[in-house]
Amino acid sequence: MQGLGPMLALVFVLVISWVLSPFAAALSTNYYDHTCPEVESIITRVVKKAMMNDKTVPAALLRMHFHDCFIRGCDGSVLLNSTAKNKAEKDGRRNISLHAFYVIDHAKKELESQCPGVVSCADILALVARDAVALSGGPSWNVPKGRKDGRISKATETVRLPDPTFNISQLQQSFSERGLSLEDLVALSGGHTLGFAHCSSFQNRIHNFNSTHDVDPSLQPSFAASLRKVCPMHNKVRSAGSGLDSSAITFDNIYYKRILLGKSIFSSDEALSTATTTKALVSKFANSQEEFYTAFVKSMIKMSSISGSGQEIRLNCRVVN
Ligand code: HEM
Ligand SMILES: *[C@@H]1O[C@H](CO)[C@@H](O)[C@H](O)[C@H]1NC(C)=O
Ligand SMILES: *[C@@H]1O[C@H](CO)[C@@H](O)[C@H](O)[C@H]1NC(C)=O
Ligand SMILES: *[C@@H]1O[C@H](CO)[C@@H](O)[C@H](O)[C@H]1NC(C)=O
Ligand SMILES: CC(=O)N[C@H]1CO[C@H](CO)[C@@H](O)[C@@H]1O
């Protein structure tokens, strides 16, 4: 029985490392080369078509991928519908105005007819996010692929998404929990060059800011006045709000210029200018769109690689197999 001890130990080590290793193997840019060679062109065509009908689509898709990756890794959990027994992420807090899920459905339908059961919903999200940026005038990049879809989506977990009232330490904490640095935080916040915010998301800055200031003094006064005009204290217009920057359908570096001018929308945007390191990055990106694009691509690939524990290729992105 001499040899059994080490043998058991070896088996033990193998089992443990299998359990601890993320099921997801490393992602690769050529993942579907043999199984679904047209995957990217099919998806790009669907995104282009949707954008022609609705200019809000790119912003929605970019944000959807971010919300997916921040909860349970990039595993398509944000796409799952609630069921009788389970309230899903999309019906949780901080999901306000997630939309354009139909674009994912269209892409999935095309892909299922070309290469059934092959392309994960999580990969579709990563690809549509890249297309959303590129087709809005921003940079393009090679997307690593091979994510698997998860089977769990819980509304209660969306409280773990960063809140627009967060200060710099809270933002740093939220990003570092996911392996993302301060540079990733500043670069990825540049996603706010696209899209729209409802009044409720920046209400804290324009009414009852704190006991000494009704309005956040870091807001440029006439800009604050214009926000207060669209978003009065007891706002009744549910769709009211503001573009996230002055060119909300173009992916550019104006977002950073506006932070420096006191014209950002969320406290979390303004917060980037409150610490020396992050402020230096805001200035760098405000001065050079090139530098912003390079950093954004690097950080998107990083965020987009946060691994989940998905194990299947969903056939319908809204329901588990
Ligand atoms: C840093 C922490 C972040 C916070 C606190 C935050 C918060 C928010 C909030 C509150 C909204 C507006 C929701 C509404 O009022 O309708 C929003 C919109 C948006 N966010 Fe973020 N976000 C953050 C990071 C990101 C990242 C990393 C990305 C992508 C790279 C992103 C992309 C977007 C986009 C594109 C929109 C516009 C969505 C649309 O128009 O449909 N955000 N964000
Ligand atoms: C998911 O929910 C949406 C919106 O409520 C609904 O239109 C759609 O039919 C649902 N899809 C599935 C497969 O349950
Ligand atoms: C950020 O907010 C947290 C929670 O309110 C607080 O403990 C912390 O001191 C704040 N940090 C900064 C830099 O303001
Ligand atoms: C209100 O906010 C301003 C600007 O951040 C700050 O200077 C002031 O001390 C705050 N007042 C209170 C009572 O916290
Ligand atoms: C897409 C969306 O906004 N879904 C839901 C987000 O959560 C609220 C509150 O739980 C729901 O009313 C929305 O339908």
Candidate from 209, 212, 219, 273 with most ligand 4 atoms within 8 A of CB, to mutate: 212
What's residue 45's pLDDT?
Answer: 98
Confidence band, pLDDT 50/70/90 cuts, at residue 7? low
Which string of b and e fits 269-293 if b means at least 16 CB within 10 Å? bbbbbebeebbebbebbbeebeebb
Which string of b and e fits 3-39 if b means at least 16 CB within 10 Å? eeeeeeeeeeeeeeeeeeeeebeebeeebbeeebeeb
CATH of the domain at 64: 1.10.520.10
pTM for this one?
A: 0.93
What's residue 25's pLDDT?
Answer: 66
What's residue 13's pLDDT?
Answer: 45
What's residue 258's pLDDT?
Answer: 98
Which listed ligand is nearest to 172 at the C-alpha? 1
The protein residue with its alpha carbon nearest to ligand 5, atom 8, reads: 91
For 253-291, the pLDDT digits (tens) are 999 999 999 999 999 999 999 999 999 999 999 999 999
For 163-215, the pLDDT digits (tens) are 999 999 999 999 999 999 999 999 999 999 999 999 999 999 999 999 999 99
Residues whose CB falls within 8 Å of the CB of residue 2, separated by 6 or more in sequence, listed in order: none
Question: Any known ligand binding at 75?
Answer: yes
| Mean predicted confidence (pLDDT) in 242-248 | 92
Q: Is the pLDDT of residue 94 over 90?
A: no
Nearest residue to 66 via CA among 289, 268, 235, 228: 268
What's residue 225's pLDDT?
Answer: 98
Phi first, then psi: what are they for 185, rounded to 5°?
A: -55, -50
Phi first, then psi: what are they for 291, rounded to 5°?
A: -65, -40
Q: Is 213 a catalytic residue?
A: no
If you measure from the C-alpha of residue 170 to the centroid of ligand 3, how many angstroms do you get, rounded to a whole number?
7
What's residue 22's pLDDT?
Answer: 47
What's residue 35's pLDDT?
Answer: 98
Q: Among 67, 99, 213, 234, which one carries the catalytic annotation? A: 67
Pairing of strands 196-198, 241-243: antiparallel
Question: Any known ligand binding at 252?
Answer: yes
- Same structural domain, 107 and 185: no
C-alpha count within 13 angstroms, C-beta hemisphere, residue 236:
0
Candidate from 166, 169, 216 with most ligand 3 atoms within 8 A of CB, to mutate: 169
Q: Which two tokens stand for residue 175?
A: 């990003």
- Same structural domain, 271 and 222: yes
Q: Which two tokens stand for residue 66?
A: 């971010």
Q: What is the mean pLDDT of the chain?
A: 93
Q: Is 12 within the bounds of a domain?
A: no
Question: Any known ligand binding at 283?
Answer: no
- Same structural domain, 139 and 182: no
- Same structural domain, 84 and 201: no
What's residue 95's pLDDT?
Answer: 74
Q: Do 146 and 26 touch, CB atoms closer than 8 A?
A: yes
State percent of the chain over pLDDT 90: 88
- Same structural domain, 137 and 190: no
- Same structural domain, 132 and 193: no
For 28-85, the pLDDT digits (tens) are 999 999 999 999 999 999 999 999 999 999 999 999 999 999 999 999 999 999 999 9
Q: Quick check: CB of 73 below 6 Å from ligand 1? A: no
CATH of the domain at 176: 1.10.420.10
The protein residue with its alpha carbon nearest to ligand 3, atom 8, reads: 169
Q: Is 80 within the bounds of a domain?
A: yes
Confidence band, pLDDT 50/70/90 cuts, at residue 16? very low
- Same structural domain, 154 and 220: no
If you measure from the C-alpha of residue 217 to the centroid of ligand 4, how many angstroms do you get, rounded to a whole number?
9
- Same structural domain, 153 and 194: no
- Same structural domain, 232 and 116: no
If you measure from the C-alpha of residue 211 to the centroid of ligand 4, how many angstroms do you get, rounded to a whole number?
8
The single-letter DSSP state of residue 81 is P
Count of structural domains, the chain? 2
Last residue of one domain, picked from the residues 135, 160, 185: 160
Report d(CA 225, CA 230) in Å as an integer.
Answer: 9
Q: Is 194 within the bounds of a domain?
A: yes
| Mean predicted confidence (pLDDT) in 307-316 | 96
Q: Is 4 within the bounds of a domain?
A: no
Name the percent of the chain in helix, strand, coil, to the closest 5: 50, 5, 45
Candidate from 86, 315, 318 with most ligand 2 atoms within 8 A of CB, to mutate: 318
Q: Which two tokens stand for residue 160?
A: 């773990």
Q: Do 228 and 215 touch, CB atoms closer than 8 A?
A: yes
Q: Is 117 within the bounds of a domain?
A: yes
Phi first, then psi: what are they for 197, rounded to 5°?
A: -125, 140
Question: Any known ligand binding at 73?
Answer: yes
Last residue of one domain, picked from the residues 128, 160, 192: 160
Q: Is 16 within the bounds of a domain?
A: no
Range in 76-80, 95-99, 227-231 with the lowest mean pLDDT: 95-99
Which string of b and e fits 173-198 if b means at least 16 CB within 10 Å? ebbeeeebebbbbbbbbbbbbbbbbb
Give me the domain span that covers residue 63: 22-160
Which string of b and e fits 202-241 if b means at least 16 CB within 10 Å? bbbbbbebeeeeebbebbeeebbeebbeebeeeeeeeeeb
Q: Is 95 within the bounds of a domain?
A: yes
Report d(CA 146, CA 118) in Å as an integer.
Answer: 10
If you measure from the C-alpha of residue 98 to the centroid of ligand 5, how many angstroms do you get, rounded to a whole number?
8
Confidence band, pLDDT 50/70/90 cuts, at residue 20? very low
If you measure from the C-alpha of residue 68 to the centroid of ligand 2, how many angstroms do you get, rounded to a whole number?
18
Atom of ligand 2 nearest to the CA of 318: 13
Q: Which two tokens stand for residue 179?
A: 């392996």
Q: Which two tokens stand for residue 309?
A: 């524990």
Q: Quick check: CB of 257 below 6 Å from ligand 1? A: no
Q: Which two tokens stand for residue 222?
A: 């006439």
Report d(CA 56, CA 42) in Å as an integer.
Answer: 20
- Same structural domain, 283 and 211: yes
Last residue of one domain, picked from the residues 160, 180, 213: 160
- Same structural domain, 110 and 87: yes
Reported as type and span, the H/E element at residue 242 is strand 241-243
Q: Is 111 within the bounds of a domain?
A: yes
Question: Any known ligand binding at 33?
Answer: no
- Same structural domain, 255 and 286: yes
- At how many degrees (to 10) do helices 289-303 and 276-287 cross? 120
